[in-house]
Structure 1
Amino acid sequence: MLLVIILTSWFILVRDWQECNIPGPLPLPLLGFAHNLIMIKPSGFLPLLHRFKMEYGDAFRVHLFHNPYVILSHPKYVEPLVSHSELITKGRSYSFLRPWLGDGLLTSTESIMGVSIEAQTNSESEYVKAIETVAKIVSLRMRNPFAGEETIFRLLRHKKAQDEALGVLHSQTQKVIKMRREELKNVNKSGVNEQSDNGIKNKHDFLDLLLLSTIDGKKIDDQHVREEVDTFMFEGHDTTTSGISFTLYCLAKHPEMQEKILEEQRRILGQNLDRDPSYVDLKEMKYLELVIKESLRMYPSVPLIERLMVKDTEIAGLKLRKGTSVLVNIMEMHRHPELYDNPFEFRPERHDTASANSAKNAFSWLAFSAGPRNCIGQKFAMMELKITVASVIKNFTVLPVDVEEPGLCAELILRSEVGVNIKLKPRNKTC
């Protein structure tokens, strides 16, 4: 019987592999390509994708068990995918996030909730540690197909660790929701369109909007509010943290760019560099934005995104059958030599649309994704990045540290397994 199962699996996989017009390694019976991922470390996953891209090209295919995956790393394939109005279903890997985020915006920052969890002042907080635990486990399930199988996962020690961490995360979120509901009740707030005593329409943070809004005359229930709050609490701080860290890392190697940023700050803010920039001021920080975009090109906070084909589809000549998960390798595309001259050189002017050196295709840079499922918080994230990086540069000279390069890991968010190391030297503000 086992032999029959193996032979049947082999026949199905080989037939699928032969009929597909996308190159890739020959799958093994039952396993497909899964055996290559059993022991792979977080820092080895992106290099593995790079190796297969070099061998098979900008679009290649692998099977994890009998599940087909296609990996894309060129805008000629990526643009029609992410801009398609119907191909918006997130890939099967996102299902691993559902125990945490439910059917929130990511799967179907701290300040937008009106509540602080003090993550910056307490890196050992239970909440911060719980997010780190869940992120590592979800990342493991995404890259290891065996851990991705629910039956196997329930037998692993990671299941208990995930349940304990989710208990912390959901408890914190529910406490925030309950506290804010009570506060709104105490001040007699019942709707989002109410005005203050002077006739000016009240402004609300994101959590207030969720608690005060109605759908078909009914308030949004606590579970759906919790799912959206969990999504924004995660998406709003981890991605920005990655962006800030790698931007400062890049600037540490380029003191001349730090001086340009400082000069831009003086021009916009005057000699009083200590004042908080306004929204208009932030929009004027053009050079700083180019620096941030170049950092996000080389170190995208989200290095991979995924879509699930819910019907047989053809994109840019690629035949994708129903059930195929398509990964967009943003990291690989951002470093593609056909798209960026000397891609490992840090050159902010690449993103100046008036420059002859700017990217040839608008979809060559996808740090915030694109199309109907692009990042809802990208403008807010860019403001956070500008404020934080500008503040650091105004107060410190950023210096490199003579240690090993960042060991890049795709753990939902781009991280370094050895940390992102820099030195900060206080500036003499009288100069």
Structure 2
Amino acid sequence: MLNNLPVINTRPPTYAEISDETNLPYLSAVIYEILRCSRTAAAVDRDTTCDTTLLGYPIPKGTRVLMPIGMVQQLESNGSKDVTDGLHSVRSVSSQRGRKTGYWSESDVHLFKPERWLRQDGSFNATAGPWLPFSYGFRGCFGQKLALLQLRLFVAMTQVNVFFDAIPEELNTWESHETVTNHPVQCYVKPVPWDQLN
């Protein structure tokens, strides 16, 4: 499949090429890594509709349960396994059926590294590790596909026209204000037109 990828370094990519996740695996990896690191949505909440038990704790009907999805997707690493496995005995049968995603490496979980989403053959792997910017399951964000497509189009077409040069360290932070979604404290870029690069 990767042998049939379009050659687009001599022309802008088409909409069909950008919108297909399998066509441009590194673009997919960059999009997923942007959303993993930015923790766009820090948490989601749900109201319980019946009495239940969560990891051994009784949760009465009508309780609002807050789930911190942002930190899980950004920081859950191999070091989380011991804690998670220690809870195995109190997990429900349905949650013990096997993890669908991997864990991040403790050595680089804090870094922006799109390559973590690529398989050995260079193809994109959406289940390489925890990724929950739109929540998950049938209660996940119904706008996920549209948001991903918009982000793919924006990043791809911007990158075709400009190179994003490094900015000073004091302007390059992950600091943010958390409301319903995260908002950067500072958001600076240094775009340089390709024809002006040395």
Structure 2 length as normaliser, TM-score?
Answer: 0.69
Which residue does the alignment assign to 2:193? 426
Which residue does the alignment assign to 2:104? 340
Q: Do structure 1's residue 412 and structure 2's residue 180 form an aligned pair?
A: yes
Identify which of 279, 286, 309 aligns with 2:16: 279
Q: Do structure 1's residue 388 and structure 2's residue 128 form an aligned pair?
A: no
Higher relative contact order (CA 8 A, sep 6+): 2
Would you say the 8 A contact 2:6–2:17 is kept in 1? no
Instruction: Measure how far apart 1:427 and its partner are.
Output: 0.8
Instruction: Measure how far apart 1:323 and its partner are.
Output: 2.6
List alignment gaps of at least 5 residues for structure 2.
81-102
Instruction: Measure how far apart 1:272 and its partner are.
Output: 2.0
Decide whether aligned partners of structure 1 residues 361 and 321 sit closer, same or farther in structure 2, where only a CA change above 3 A counts.
Answer: farther
| 1:314 aligned counterpart, secondary structure | strand
Decide whether aligned partners of structure 1 residues 285 and 315 sit closer, same or farther in structure 2, where only a CA change above 3 A counts.
Answer: same
Would you say the 8 A contact 2:117–2:128 is kept in 1? no
**In structure 2, distance between residues paired with 1:285 and 1:361:** 17
Identify which of 34, 43, 47 aligns with 1:295: 34
Which residue does the alignment assign to 1:318? 57
| 2:40 aligned counterpart, secondary structure | coil
Instruction: Measure how far apart 1:415 and its partner are.
Output: 0.6
**In structure 2, distance between residues paired with 1:368 and 1:354:** 27
**In structure 1, distance between residues paired with 2:53 and 2:7:** 49
Give the number of the structure whose alpha-carbon radius of gyration is greater.
Answer: 1
Which residue does the alignment assign to 1:368? 134
Would you say the 8 A contact 2:41–2:181 is kept in 1? yes
Instruction: State the aligned residue count.
Output: 160
| 1:394 aligned counterpart, secondary structure | helix
Decide whether aligned partners of structure 1 residues 428 and 267 sit closer, same or farther in structure 2, where only a CA change above 3 A counts.
Answer: farther
| 1:398 aligned counterpart, secondary structure | strand
Instruction: Measure how far apart 1:336 and its partner are.
Output: 2.2
Q: Deviations over 1:272-291 (max 9, x none)?
A: 22x6x223442112110111
| 1:269 aligned counterpart, secondary structure | coil
Q: Deviations over 1:364-401 (max 9, x none)?
A: 21112111111212122111111111111111110232
Instruction: Measure how far apart 1:360 and its partner are.
Output: 7.8
CA RMSD of aligned residues (A): 2.9
Matches within 5 A, 1:53-202: none
Q: Deviations over 1:227-263 (max 9, x none)?
A: xxxxxxxxxxxxxxxxxxxxxxxxxxxxxxxxxxxxx
Decide whether aligned partners of structure 1 residues 278 and 324 sit closer, same or farther in structure 2, where only a CA change above 3 A counts.
Answer: same
**In structure 2, distance between residues paired with 1:430 and 1:360:** 36
Q: Which runs of 4+ in 1 moved over 6 A?
A: 358-362
Higher helix share: 1
**In structure 2, distance between residues paired with 1:415 and 1:430:** 31
Q: Deviations over 1:196-221 (max 9, x none)?
A: xxxxxxxxxxxxxxxxxxxxxxxxxx
Aligned amino acid, residue 350 of structure 1:
R
Decide whether aligned partners of structure 1 residues 318 and 280 sit closer, same or farther in structure 2, where only a CA change above 3 A counts.
Answer: farther
Q: Deviations over 1:285-317 (max 9, x none)?
A: 211011110111111221211111122112343
Aligned amino acid, residue 407 of structure 1:
E
Which residue does the alignment assign to 1:398? 164
**In structure 2, distance between residues paired with 1:429 and 1:386:** 25
| 2:195 aligned counterpart, secondary structure | coil
List alignment gaps of at least 5 residues for structure 1.
1-265
Question: Percent sequence identity over matched residues?
Answer: 24
**In structure 2, distance between residues paired with 1:380 and 1:369:** 15
Instruction: Measure how far apart 1:423 and its partner are.
Output: 0.8
**In structure 2, distance between residues paired with 1:287 and 1:428:** 23
